[in-house]
Amino acid sequence: MQKNFLKLNSNKTELLLIGSKSTLSKTPNLTLTIDGTPVSPSTQARNLGVIFDPTLSLDSHIRQVVKISFFHLRNIAKIRPYLTRPAAERLIHAFISSRLDYCLRFVLPIAVCWIVLLAIMGLRVYFTSELSEDNAKQTAEILNLTSRIQELETRENLTVRCDNLIPACTVPESNNTNLSAEEQELKTRIQELETQKNNLKLKIRMMETNWNELNISRAQWSIDSYCLGNTDDKCQPCQFGWGLSQPSCYAINDPPSPRWKTWEEAREDCKGENSDLAVAHIPAEKNDIIDKYSPFSSGTTGFWIGLRVEDGEWKWVDGSDLTDSSFNAEAADGRCAISVLRENNWVSVSCGDHKQWICQKKALSLTV
């Protein structure tokens, strides 16, 4: 490589040993030296968007895809009341189809389970809304019919009074017969609607049961991320790779500069990790973000935080106003803030610039 004026980039070079668990346990520690640079085996490697592991179980890849899918499903559930039925069907079909990448053809049994899971979740988001709407319509119709029955009964009572008090005020017998027949028809209709309502409630309960089971499985994935893989087999307040500064966990995202992101892209990346860009409401949080999680930053080369201009004011991503008087940059549209260690403060830059970023989430509460 040196003859061709090339140099190995160790940060982008990964070595993955593939085999069965018994075979890998017998394999001694292996380190390859390429052009003077040692390369050790990794626990997982990403290739063309797929995360491989030594046993090719693809557990890490599936967990990552499921995590992203939950995020998008929650967004679909929020906008479902504003969509027509055909639009909702197209959205659910498009979402499920978009998850079928080429890697799944090599793991067919796992892929089938995953597709079924996505289908159940998508249909649950769609049909729960549909059943709720139908239930509301049926209830409104029942109330309307009940009001009509009461009106008919009142009219029938008035007819009886007329017969008793004023002989001249008579109601033909045929009218009474017609009113009785209409009343019976309305009662029959109410019974049918009550039956439909009960059936809808039963379907909702069944779907809620399936949803709860899926939530239990999802909760187990979240617990695993805090508890598995630790050397002392104990759960930690933060996931692996996150730093703890109570009451929050922070993750520094400092990839090579070609992979830096805009403010919006950085926030989407944090949301994919069930977190958001870092927020500081008190001086202690600000000091932690600048001193601990903004390494080697200076000038306008810093880390995105959750602060930007909205409606002519600096606001945090949680909707709160900026109260730190030490940061007095002009609140111009299209401006976002970065954390810079050398400046010991925030710095205003264009939201379209590409920077590194800091994610933040609440630390897990542990009890002994």
pLDDT at 258: 93
Report pTM. 0.41
CATH fold label, 243-362: Mannose-Binding Protein A; Chain A (3.10.100)
The pLDDT tens digits of the residues spanning 359-368 come to 999 988 766 4
Identify the weakest region by mean pLDDT among 45-49, 243-247, 262-266, 354-358.
45-49
Mean per-residue pLDDT for 198-204? 88
Average pLDDT over the chain, rounded to whole?
A: 79
Helix, strand, or coil here: 332?
coil
Domain ranges of the chain: 2-42, 57-235, 243-362
169-185 b/e (C-beta count within 10 Å ≥ 16 → b): eeeeeeeeeebeeeeee
Helix, strand, or coil here: 359?
strand
Are 323 and 204 in contact by the 8 Å Cβ rule? The answer is: no
Q: How far apart are CA 345 and CA 291, in angstroms?
A: 10
